Amino acid sequence: MNLKELLSESKGITSNSKEVKPGYIFVAIKGTQADGHHFVEEALQRGALWVLVERDVDLSDPRILKVKDTRRALAELAGLFYGKPSEELRVIGITGTNGKTTSTHVVESILSRAGIKTGLMGTIYYRLGERIYEYEGRTTPDPVKWHSTLRAMKEDGAQAVVCEVSSHALDQKRVWGTRFYMVAFTNLSQDHLDYHHTMENYFLAKARLFTEYEYEHALINADDPWGKRLTTMAKNVKTYGRDGDLKILDFSTDFEGSRLRVECEGRQYHFSSNLRGSFQAYNLSLGVLLGFLWGLSAEVIQEGIREVYVPGRFETYMGDGFVVVVDYAHTPDALGKLLKTARGLAKNRLIVVFGAGG
C-alpha cells in the first residue's frame, strides 16, 4: 500500500500520540528526547487509522505498517495531505548560521514591493502581510505544520514564501517533499554542536538543502569558506560577496543606515537601506542578487530594501545622549560582528548586556 492509498480515508496526520483522533495516521518518530514508538499502543487506542513505524514494537495489529524511514514518510504524507502546496508557490529557502532572519525579511520586502504577495516563515513568526499564523515557533516547523502553513498561505493569496531552513530541520527531514524555487546560503560558524557534534556534520546538514532538494537557483556567499566549498556541491549557482557574481565593491554603515555599491554582469548599482551594521552588506547583497534573478529592476529592489523592519536585529532606540541597540546575536561569530559594528558607531562608552540560555 502506497502513501496515497493510506491517505484516501484519513482525516489527519500527526507524530504526537496525544493529537490522534479516529481516522488519523500516526507516524512514530524517534526524537532527541522521546521515541514515538513507545506511544504506538496509545495511538491505536485513540482510533488511529494507520500507524507507521520503522522498527518492531511488539504489538500485533493490522493497522501497524513498517516503513524504512518514518521521518521521510511523515513529510511525504504531510505534503500529499495538503496538496503539495510548494508546487503552487515559489518557495525560497535560506540556510546558514547567521543572517537568515534578516535575509528573509529583506527578500520579503523586495518581492512585496514588486507586487508579489509573499509569506515569511522563520524564528520570529510565520506571517503573510499583517496576518500572523504563529509567533516564536521553531525556526523551521515540523512537516505537518510546514506543509499546512504553506497551504494556508497559498489559500490566503500568497504567490511566494521565503523561509528560514535550519540545520535541525534538514537533518530531520522536516521540509522533505518541498519544491524550492531558490535556495540560499549565508555563512557557517560555530553553533548547534550539541546536536551535530562537529562542524563537518553541521555543514553537511546545511548542504542537504543544495544536494537533496529540487530548485532552480542556488545563491551562495562566496566570501565564506564553507560557502566556497558548497559552490562545488550545488547546481545552478550564483554567488555574492567581495568575489561573487554579484560583487560587493563598497559598503558603509552608520546610525542613519547603510550604503551598498555592487557590480553585476558588468554594471554597477548603488543601494541604500535603513538596516545598520557591517554584516548587512551580505544580507542586502543576497536580496539584491535574488531580485535580479527574479527579473526585478534595480529601482524596485531599492524600494524594497529602503525600509526593512526586522524585530530584534540591530533594533535601535535613540535616547537623550545615548543609543540602545537590541540584537538577537547568540553565537560567537554573530556577537563578535555585532560588537565590532557597535564599537565603530559608538562615540563614547559601549556597555554590553548579554544573556545566555542554559
**Separation of alpha carbons 183 and 217, rounded Å:** 6
Domain boundaries, the chain: 3-81, 85-306
What CATH code is assigned to 3-81?
A: 3.40.1390.10
Predicted local confidence at residue 191, as pLDDT:
66
Helix (H, G, I), strand (E, B) or coil at 88: helix
Does residue 292 have a pLDDT over 80?
A: yes
CATH of 85-306, picked from 3.30.70.520, 2.130.10.10, 3.40.1190.10, 1.20.58.410, is 3.40.1190.10
How confident is the model over 134-169, as pLDDT tens digits?
987 788 999 999 999 999 999 999 999 999 999 999
Does residue 78 have a pLDDT over 80?
A: yes
How confident is the model over 267-285, as pLDDT tens digits?
999 999 999 888 899 999 9
Please give the biggest Cα pair distance in the chain: 73
Predicted local confidence at residue 335, as pLDDT:
82
Predicted local confidence at residue 259, as pLDDT:
97
Rounded percentage of the chain residues whose pLDDT exceeds 90: 75
CA–chain centroid gap for 333, Å, is 19
76-80, 156-160, 340-344: least confident range:
340-344
Is the distance from CB of 159 to CB of 150 less than 8 angstroms? no
Predicted local confidence at residue 279, as pLDDT:
87
| One-character DSSP codes across 25-75 | EEE--B-SS-BGGGGHHHHHHTT-SEEEESS--S---TTEEE-S-HHHHHH
What contacts 141, CB < 8 A, 6 or more positions away? 121, 126, 134, 149, 174
Does residue 194 have a pLDDT over 80?
A: no
Predicted local confidence at residue 333, as pLDDT:
72
Q: Average pLDDT of 214-233?
A: 97
Does residue 258 have a pLDDT over 90?
A: yes
How confident is the model over 90-148, as pLDDT tens digits?
999 999 988 899 999 999 999 999 999 999 999 999 999 999 999 877 889 999 999 99
**Separation of alpha carbons 90 and 97, rounded Å:** 23
**Separation of alpha carbons 220 and 222, rounded Å:** 6
Q: Who wins on pLDDT, 2 or 57?
A: 57
The dihedral sign for the CA sequence 106, 110, 113, 115: negative
Predicted local confidence at residue 190, as pLDDT:
63
Is the distance from CB of 284 to CB of 273 less than 8 angstroms? yes
| Average pLDDT over all residues of the chain | 93
Predicted local confidence at residue 13, as pLDDT:
97
What contacts 275, CB < 8 A, 6 or more positions away? 102, 106, 257, 258, 283, 284, 305, 308, 310, 314
Residue 1: band (very low, low, confident or very high) from pLDDT cuts 50, 70, 90: low
pTM for the whole structure: 0.89
Strands 160-164, 267-273: pairing is unpaired
By C-alpha distance, which of 186, 251, 184 is closest to 224? 186
Residue 192: band (very low, low, confident or very high) from pLDDT cuts 50, 70, 90: low
